[in-house]
Amino acid sequence: MSLTYEDVIAKYEPVLGLEVHVELNTHSKMFCGCSTIFGGEPNTQTCPVCLGMPGALPVVNEKAIESSILIGLALNCSIAPFSRFSRKNYFYPDMPKNFQISQYDEPICVNGYLDVEIDTDEGIKKFRVEIERVHMEEDTGKSLHVGGATGRIHGADYSLLDYNRAGIPLVEIVTKIVPGTGKYAPEVAKAYVAELRDILRSLGVSDVRMEQGSLRCDANVSLRLIGAETLGTRSETKNVNSLRSVERAVRGEMIRHAELLNKGERVVQETRHFQEESGLTRSGRSKEQAEDYRYFPEPDLVPVAPDAAWIETLRATLPEQPTLRRKRLQTEWSVPDKEMAAMINADALDIVEATVKLGADPTRARGWWIGESSRFAKEQGITIADLSISPTDVAQIVALVANGELTDKLARQVVEGVIAGEGAPASVIESRGLKVVSDESALMAAIERAIAAQPETAEKIRNGHIPAAGALIGAVMKETKGQADAARVRELLLGHLGQPTT
């Protein structure tokens, strides 16, 4: 008999803790010059340093320090005037030195916060998520365990090691415990990761692709009886690879914990792995016996002591916070809430803004991106940013419609052509012959031919029966193969038959 979510929240209060690992998008690794490009042939992006060869030494990537400071500033943290790297010692084959260079007791950024909003039945609700620390470390290599049932090292026939990822700069962002979210815990967790992702993207410091692992979230969840002071035992769920999964994982863990607690059993402090298909977690490594990592200051590196003036220079370059930017754009463009949500969902904000900056009307720009383009993107299974139509193309199309050189119908064909890779709007119009027939004498000739073909209809219009105009307009549009502006045809027709045109 399984509990419902309502049963859980009626009795327990969830407490969250979120750890997000972000791969920085620096060109080179954290401590050597190797490339960080994703997807290379195994072990082609390695050198003595990131392979942990005897004698090799790490040297800190300045760009990674800069990115970490930017992240800290964007999350309202204090930047430590003096921070240090430490060694986290443990043996694992995908870790070349058998220690990870990380920051331990002296991280680069501390004590920040991030405000997130969620849309609920009771309206928009705001939660403040406090950030404990932001620190730098190096990623490990990847192991591929071949054979055996579980895909884990135990029981595998053999294992393959790829060190391309070893030494990629990682930033870990750790929240303080987040109490007080109540039934909204899963949504707050998701909103936090989403907001964080948007901030990181706006800073340009990471690709933030959860599916490629450049943004990874570990969700810590514990429950306590409502009103209780002491925290319950937490589980740490790893392998949460999408925003939706963050929400599902938190919800699933809340239910699992509640079921255990209701049965009088205890929650085991452990790492759990999220299963995308089932939405459930499976048990991983127990953390009941804390592992002793024998941290000590990394003697091969000197402390990081960023110049105060440099920090201020970086602060001055911080982009507008995504939430504030969304609010501003929504007001400037007068977008209704629902449509704003659709635009955010389709990840279209940047591209619409770029189109508007090129002079396009915001409503029209939004219409093209959210309507046509997003439909094509969905068909191709890509994002609108990856379509072969650019903000410049859309801005041109909007302008052509505005000055009557294209009808909406023609414009749709132009969009389709550009997306199909037929070139810029001008060349699609040219090659497909999509120009509006704007030559008025040609239109008048077509109108006269239509009147001649349907004299009775024309007579009805002359007698003031305006709705009859539709049939004649249709005939003209047919003759011009749809390339005339229907509104203009109507004006010319009614005028010609002595009727008011408005």
Nearest distance in Å: CB 282, other proteins: 22
Q: Compute the distance between CA of residue 214 and CA of residue 94 in angstroms, rounded to an integer.
A: 18
DSSP state of 232: -
Q: Which does 58 bind (CB under 5 to 8 A by kind): Zn ion, other proteins, none?
A: other proteins
Q: Which does 34 bind (CB under 5 to 8 A by kind): other proteins, Zn ion, none?
A: Zn ion
Q: Compute the distance between CA of residue 165 and CA of residue 116 in angstroms, rounded to an integer.
A: 32
Question: 102 in helix, strand or coil?
Answer: strand
Nearest distance in Å: CB 138, other proteins: 14
Q: Which does 299 bind (CB under 5 to 8 A by kind): Zn ion, other proteins, none?
A: other proteins
Q: Which does 434 bind (CB under 5 to 8 A by kind): Zn ion, other proteins, none?
A: none
Q: Compute the distance between CA of residue 135 and CA of residue 104 in angstroms, rounded to an integer.
A: 8
Closest by CA position to 20, among listed 203, 164, 213: 213
- The yes or no reply on residue 434 touching Zn ion (CB under 5 A) is no
What torsion, rounded to 10 degrees, do the Cα atoms 377, 379, 381, 383 define?
A: 10
Nearest distance in Å: CB 48, Zn ion: 7
Nearest distance in Å: CB 160, Zn ion: 19
Question: 313 in helix, strand or coil?
Answer: helix
Long-range contacts of 417-426 (CB under 8 A, 24+ apart): 418/388, 418/389, 418/393, 419/373, 419/376, 419/387, 419/388, 419/389, 421/388, 424/393, 424/396, 425/393, 425/396, 425/397, 425/400, 426/396
Q: Residue 59 or residue 402: which is nearer to other proteins going by CB?
A: 59
Q: Residue 99 or residue 184: which is nearer to other proteins going by CB?
A: 99
Q: Residue 32 or residue 79: which is nearer to Zn ion going by CB?
A: 32
Q: Residue 53 or residue 341: which is nearer to other proteins going by CB?
A: 53
The pair of structure tokens assigned to 300 is: 């091969």
Nearest distance in Å: CB 131, Zn ion: 30
Q: Residue 231 or residue 302: which is nearer to other proteins going by CB?
A: 302
CB-based contacts of 40: which residues, under 8 Å, 6+ apart?
Answer: 164
Nearest distance in Å: CB 288, other proteins: 16
Q: Which does 89 bind (CB under 5 to 8 A by kind): Zn ion, other proteins, none?
A: other proteins
Nearest distance in Å: CB 34, Zn ion: 3
The pair of structure tokens assigned to 84 is: 């240090």
CB-based contacts of 253: which residues, under 8 Å, 6+ apart?
Answer: 219, 221, 235, 237, 272, 281
CB-based contacts of 36: which residues, under 8 Å, 6+ apart?
Answer: 23, 25, 26, 27, 28, 29, 45, 168, 169
Nearest distance in Å: CB 44, other proteins: 14
Nearest distance in Å: CB 146, other proteins: 13
Q: Is the dihedral of CA 329, 18, 235, 6 positive or negative?
A: negative
| Residue 113 CB neighbour total at 10 angstroms | 13
Q: Residue 141 or residue 322: which is nearer to other proteins going by CB?
A: 141
Helix (H) or strand (E) holding 13: strand 12-23
Q: Compute the distance between CA of residue 483 and CA of residue 439 in angstroms, rounded to an integer.
A: 11
Among 11, 43, 47, 207, binds Zn ion (CB under 5 A): 47
The binding site for other proteins (CB under 8 A) comprises 48, 51-60, 87, 89, 91, 93, 96-99, 153-154, 159, 161, 290, 292, 294-296, 299-302
- Chain residues 482-501 in contact with Zn ion, contact rule CB under 5 A: none
Closest by CA position to 402, among listed 459, 351, 361, 463: 361
Q: Residue 52 or residue 232: which is nearer to other proteins going by CB?
A: 52
Nearest distance in Å: CB 316, other proteins: 28
Q: Which does 53 bind (CB under 5 to 8 A by kind): Zn ion, other proteins, none?
A: other proteins
- The yes or no reply on residue 174 touching Zn ion (CB under 5 A) is no
Nearest distance in Å: CB 72, other proteins: 22
Q: Which stretch binds Zn ion (CB under 5 A): 49-57, 129-137, 345-353, 476-484?
A: 49-57
Q: Contact, 406 vs 432, CB < 8 A?
A: no
Cα 280 to Cα 22, 224, 249, 254, 401: the distances in Å are 24, 21, 7, 11, 51
Q: Which stretch binds Zn ion (CB under 5 A): 46-54, 55-63, 96-104, 419-427?
A: 46-54
Q: Which does 50 bind (CB under 5 to 8 A by kind): other proteins, Zn ion, none?
A: Zn ion
- The yes or no reply on residue 349 touching Zn ion (CB under 5 A) is no
Q: Which does 444 bind (CB under 5 to 8 A by kind): Zn ion, other proteins, none?
A: none
- The yes or no reply on residue 32 touching Zn ion (CB under 5 A) is yes
Query: What φ, ψ does residue 134 adopt, rounded to 5°?
Result: -125, 120
Q: Residue 211 or residue 288: which is nearer to other proteins going by CB?
A: 288
Q: Residue 33 or residue 404: which is nearer to other proteins going by CB?
A: 33
Q: Residue 37 or residue 153: which is nearer to other proteins going by CB?
A: 153
- The yes or no reply on residue 116 touching Zn ion (CB under 5 A) is no
Q: Residue 81 or residue 147: which is nearer to other proteins going by CB?
A: 147
Q: Residue 139 or residue 198: which is nearer to Zn ion going by CB?
A: 139
Where on the phi/psi map is residue 481: left (φ > 0), alpha (ψ -120 to 50), or beta? left
Q: Compute the distance between CA of residue 302 and CA of residue 290 in angstroms, rounded to an integer.
A: 29
Residues that bind Zn ion (CB under 5 A): 32, 34, 47, 49-50
